[in-house]
Structure formats: C-alpha cells, structure tokens
Amino acid sequence: MKAWDRVIKARHTSRPTTTKYIQNITDEFFELHGDRAFKDDEAIIGGLGKIGDIKLTIIGQEKGTTIKEKLKRNFGMSSPEGYRKALRLMKQAEKFKRPILCIVDTSGAFCGVEAEERGQGESIARNLFEMSGITVPILTIIIGEGGSGGALALAVSDEVWMMENSVYSILSPEGFATILYKDVSLASQVADDMKITAQDLNELEVIEKIIEEADVEIDRTEQDMMSKLKSDIIAFYRRYQELSGEEIVNRRYMRYRKF
C-alpha cells in the first residue's frame, strides 16, 4: 500500500475516534475539564480512567464524527488551552503516581490568530519540555493523523504506538509539496518520500509498535482490535511498575537521544 493510501485511510471519517477508543478500552472513565486559565478546549478530552486493574490518566485529541460535533471539537485541532489542560492533567497524574495514556489524532494544532495570541507555540513547547521529565510512565497511541507539533505535544513518551493505517509527520503531504515544489497537486507523490507511515517509522525505530486494525477480509473485527489493544496497554504499564521515577525519565531521555 502506498503512503498516500494510508493518508486517505487515516483521514477517513469512518475511523473510530478517541471517544470510541476510551469507551472500548476503559472499564471506567471520568472526564475532567479546563486549563484553569482560560477555558475548556473540547478538541482535547482528558480525565481519570481504569483499564483492567490499572488506574491512569487518559488524554486524547477528539475530531468528532458528525458535522456538528466536528465544529464543536474544532476538527481535533487544539488551541493553547487544550495543551495546557493536557499538561495540567499530566502533572496531576505525576503527583498521584498514575501512569498516562495519550491518544493522538490531529492534523495539527489550531493555527488561528486567536490561538497565536494566547501563546500556541509556547504551550506546545512547554508540553515537550515538561513531558520529558515526568516521572510516571507515558504511552502515546496515534490512531489517525499525527500532525506536526500538535501531535508531538502529546507524544514525548516512553513508547509511541501507531495504528497500521495511521500517519505521523512534521506536516501534511500537501504542506510538504507546497513548500518544496510549490505545487499542492504533488502531495500524493511526496507522501512516500516523507516516511510518514507506521511501517516506515517502525523500520526507522521512531515508534515501538504497529497495531493491527479491523479487517473484514480476514475476519478481524473492531472489537477484536480493541480487546487486543487493551491487553497490550495493560502489559505495557506492568512492565514499568517496578521502575523508579528516575529510571523512567532516564529511559525516556535515551529514547529521544538516539534520534
């Protein structure tokens, strides 16, 4: 499958969103709101959850499904207050020694004037800085699009996993083609060169795991996929239970040093 085919699949409106993942993989979830500074950004969902016997904090980008919900969620493009809400919940998780699960699905951070006025760049940079030193385990799963700093602000983690038809890149293929060749129509051709698929990034050791998606042709249902993912998440956190905060931070530091 070509990279552009994966891009199309990653953007497809029928893909399960963060809300659906939370509903299927958690046994309990209680949503928390607001950044304690400006407002609640509904492009980011965050709260307290339980997966099996693991109590954790869950933070994810939500695109929405219907037109009304997509507008409400700003198509998953977060504003500064969304990233500040995410960081508030991460620091809370660290305080109470709860592991963190981040779910990424965004074409990028919201680039409107009002977002820049409220410090979009600073809020993303702050997340990158703070996440690098958080002393509890962090797992990030990219379920659709993982675009630019908007995705990276939730992805400075101990491990990054990707759905097999998701993409993760510094910018969209359309943006890449426009900047490099001044021709947006070349987006489908440059996608392969960008190495944005889960398969490419796993080979480059940028991510640790590719998650198989539902496939009717081989009789693998969405419920099968969610059940397997839930088991894998529990296994991930159990691997980190015996590590001290210092060991977790050092392992995370070495993960990013190798890039």
How many other C-beta atoms are found inside a 10 Å radius of the C-beta of residue 182?
8
Answer whether 98's CB lies under 8 Å from 136's CB: yes
Q: Is the pLDDT of residue 214 over 80?
A: no
Domain ranges of the chain: 3-251
Tokens of 124: 């993303």
pLDDT-based confidence at 220, cuts 50/70/90? confident
Answer whether 44's CB lies under 8 Å from 82's CB: yes
HEC string of the chain equals CCHHHHHHHHHCCCCCCHHHHHHHHCCEEEEECCCCCCCCCCCEEEEEEEECCEEEEEEEECCCCCHHHHHHCHHHCCCHHHHHHHHHHHHHHHHCCCCEEEEEEECCCCCCHHHHHCCHHHHHHHHHHHHCCCCCCEEEEEEEEEEHHHHHCCCCCCEEEEECCCEEECCCHHHHHHHHHCCHHHHHHHHHHHCCEHHHHHHCCCCCEEECCCEHHHCECHHHHHHHHHHHHHHHHHHHCCCCHHHHHHHHHHHHHCC
CA distance 144 to 169: 12
Instruction: Pick the more confident residue, 94 or 171.
Output: 94
State the pLDDT at residue 231: 94
Q: Is the pLDDT of residue 216 over 60?
A: no
pLDDT tens-digit series, residues 21-32: 999 999 999 999
State the pLDDT at residue 254: 94
State the pLDDT at residue 215: 74
Average pLDDT, the chain: 92
The arithmetic mean of pLDDT across residues 157-175, rounded, is: 94
The CATH H-level superfamily of 3-251 is: 2-enoyl-CoA Hydratase; Chain A, domain 1 (3.90.226.10)
pTM of the complete model beyond 0.85: yes
Answer whether 39's CB lies under 8 Å from 33's CB: no
CB-neighbour burial class of residue 66 (10 A; exposed 0-12, middle 13-18, buried 19+): exposed
138 forms bridges with which residues in the sheet?
100
